[in-house]
Chains A and B, each alone.
Chain A
């Protein structure tokens, strides 16, 4: 979407409403840089932008914007299975372009092919996902997250005191086979003045293999970027504004629960090490805020989307939600609101018992709750 308007010099003095309005106007103005396929597309684009602008500002739009997801239909309806699409992304993009040409106007949505970078995952031996031909049958039309204890119960202090070090020398070696040899490194902060022994790990044969894999990974990223670039901006050119993907964040509890400790792990920790869990959640909240606010897309972007997992109805009691789930999530949400970013909570499970709580923010401002993936605003 938007590509780099310069922020006003008084940004830090602006209210969050002013910041949000600047982000909106920046987004609206970005239409001037789009090469529309025809004037009709341009008109449609501007109408759709206005519609979304009204909705996000809680004004009645000319009509209700409906956006559905096509999933893998564009692939299979063109005779391409998901496995093929993962490894031949050009073919997959073409299938989506064809599907859009046939159906986008009728469905009021333009569908882009987005997926996991399977070749890159193969090179790095990424263990966090199972996908066709890799932990799942080749015929499977989806990928799945593989939950495990990527962080052990005894490692809270490591995470809390030095998250980057924990990530580099413990987490990455566990989730990427290729990063295994990173365990051999000492702390990088040990590298001061005359260095010699600190780089000893670089001499080990498996580290050399890792470094070669990283080069291979870089080449693969360049190759796939080249393909993706061919289709970039296609949706906008045909008149479909995109408000998704300007920022992606997780609730800190989900980062700790999905990505690090696993469901079993974090739920045991809530009983056995509640103080450590709360401290870790606070650290992760700060990491999340920093990660989104310093990402290139968040600088001018409009929306941060949160896929919410382990705080859904039935997953924990209201008391547990208020103690463990909500405070760190609220901290992240507030940080985004203060920067004028719209927070979109995508609840991947029913959220009826939590709605009163997540409704604590000012009306018409920041929040766009989508319970159960059905897009109810």
Chain B
């Protein structure tokens, strides 16, 4: 039975995933076990995406199915239920002046399914917001997204703001987006840049492993 939800989600079978979730809730199963299966299904979705078996429509659809499953399960979750253990925290956002979010959301998805706790601040995020969230969460990784060339300066400003706030030495900063390359990385003062969502995951994993 448990395997079915993993498979239903991984294979993007919306109705089946919801039916299984309802059945398992009706038989008083631990809602955390249901969520764990759903997340396992999402991990498979992420793997298929990174192998170019799945594409953006599939990713978006899987996210919607997960949301529906979570909505069904949520009321049953006990207040003191055990939360899933995450590897590390990451503050993520598209920098000031840029409102592109498709790449941003894919990166969030891939980091999330790979076990990171992601604080996605959305688009057009002013430097100060990155500073506040980094301070509040104590996240050791900050990921800046931007599609337009104007984002280069916003990234630079954001990194400078983290420096001014005294946080620069406590965080690793990665940047990404359509126009980003090594030169932009050097210009902005980031620690690394990535071409796609999988590179974001690899960078985050390397940085996390290195810190331990």
User: 26 A-B contacts, Cβ less than 8 Å apart?
Assistant: A135-B99, A136-B97, A142-B148, A142-B150, A144-B98, A144-B148, A146-B99, A263-B56, A263-B60, A263-B102, A267-B57, A268-B60, A270-B57, A270-B61, A271-B12, A271-B57, A314-B52, A314-B55, A314-B56, A315-B56, A316-B55, A316-B56, A316-B57, A317-B54, A317-B55, A317-B58
> Contact mask A313-324 → B, CB, 8 Å, 1/0?
011110010000
Q: B14 an interface residue at 8 Å Cβ cutoff? A: yes
Q: B96 an interface residue at 8 Å Cβ cutoff? A: yes
Are A315 and B55 CB-contacts (below 8 A) given A141-B150, A268-B61? yes
Main secondary structure of the interface of B (DSSP, over half): loop
- Size bin of chain B's contact surface: 20 to 34
For A263, what are the chain B residues with a Cβ–Cβ distance below 8 Å? 56, 60, 102
Q: B182 an interface residue at 8 Å Cβ cutoff? A: no
A-B complex: 8 closest residue pairs judged by Cβ atoms:
A267-B57, A267-B60, A316-B55, A271-B61, A317-B55, A140-B97, A270-B57, A144-B99
Q: B76 an interface residue at 8 Å Cβ cutoff? A: no
Q: CB within 8 Å of A: which residues of B?
A: 12, 14, 52, 54-58, 60-61, 64, 96-100, 102, 124, 148, 150
Min CB distance, B56 to chain A, in Å? 5
Are A320 and B148 CB-contacts (below 8 A) given A130-B99, A136-B97, A263-B102? no
> Contact mask A270-295 → B, CB, 8 Å, 1/0?
11100000000000000000000000
Quick one: which of A135, A146, A264, A272 has the most chain B CB within 10 A? A264
Q: A200 an interface residue at 8 Å Cβ cutoff? A: no
> Complex formed: what's the CA distance from A317 to B124 in Å?
30
> Contact mask A252-268 → B, CB, 8 Å, 1/0?
00000000000110011
For B96, what are the chain A residues with a Cβ–Cβ distance below 8 Å? 137
For A267, what are the chain B residues with a Cβ–Cβ distance below 8 Å? 56-57, 60-61
For A264, what are the chain B residues with a Cβ–Cβ distance below 8 Å? 60
User: Which residue in B55, B57, B64, B150 is a CB contact (below 8 Å) of A140?
Assistant: B150
Min CB distance, B95 to chain A, in Å? 12
When the two chains form their complex, are residues B97 and A137 in contact, meaning their CB atoms are under 8 A apart? yes
For A270, what are the chain B residues with a Cβ–Cβ distance below 8 Å? 57, 61
For A144, what are the chain B residues with a Cβ–Cβ distance below 8 Å? 98-100, 148
Q: CB within 8 Å of B: which residues of A?
A: 130, 135-137, 140-142, 144, 146, 263-264, 267-268, 270-272, 314-317, 320
A141 to B, closest residue via Cβ:
B150
> Complex formed: what's the CA distance from A140 to B97 in Å?
7
A130 to B, closest residue via Cβ:
B99
Are A271 and B14 CB-contacts (below 8 A) given A140-B97, A142-B150? yes
> Complex formed: what's the CA distance from A141 to B98 in Å?
11
Min CB distance, B17 to chain A, in Å? 12
User: Which residue in A135, A142, A320 is a CB contact (below 8 Å) of B57?
Assistant: A320
A318 to B, closest residue via Cβ:
B55
> Complex formed: what's the CA distance from A130 to B99 in Å?
9
B56 to A, closest residue via Cβ:
A315
For B148, what are the chain A residues with a Cβ–Cβ distance below 8 Å? 142, 144
Min CB distance, A50 to chain B, in Å? 35
> Complex formed: what's the CA distance from A146 to B52 in Å?
28
Min CB distance, B170 to chain A, in Å? 28
For B99, what are the chain A residues with a Cβ–Cβ distance below 8 Å? 130, 135-136, 144, 146
> Complex formed: what's the CA distance from A271 to B148 in Å?
31
Min CB distance, A254 to chain B, in Å? 14
For B54, what are the chain A residues with a Cβ–Cβ distance below 8 Å? 317
Q: Besides the contacts A146-B99, A271-B14, A271-B57, what 10 more A-B pairs have beta carbons closer than 8 Å?
A: A130-B99, A140-B97, A142-B148, A264-B60, A267-B61, A268-B61, A314-B56, A315-B55, A316-B55, A317-B58
> Complex formed: what's the CA distance from A250 to B55 in Å?
22
A314 to B, closest residue via Cβ:
B55
> Complex formed: what's the CA distance from A268 to B14 in Å?
11
> Complex formed: what's the CA distance from A268 to B58 in Å?
9
For B100, what are the chain A residues with a Cβ–Cβ distance below 8 Å? 144
A353 to B, closest residue via Cβ:
B52
For B56, what are the chain A residues with a Cβ–Cβ distance below 8 Å? 263, 267, 314-316
Min CB distance, A319 to chain B, in Å? 10
For B150, what are the chain A residues with a Cβ–Cβ distance below 8 Å? 140-142
When the two chains form their complex, are residues A320 and B55 in contact, meaning their CB atoms are under 8 A apart? yes
For B58, what are the chain A residues with a Cβ–Cβ distance below 8 Å? 317
> Complex formed: what's the CA distance from A141 to B100 in Å?
16
Min CB distance, A263 to chain B, in Å? 6
For B61, what are the chain A residues with a Cβ–Cβ distance below 8 Å? 267-268, 270-271
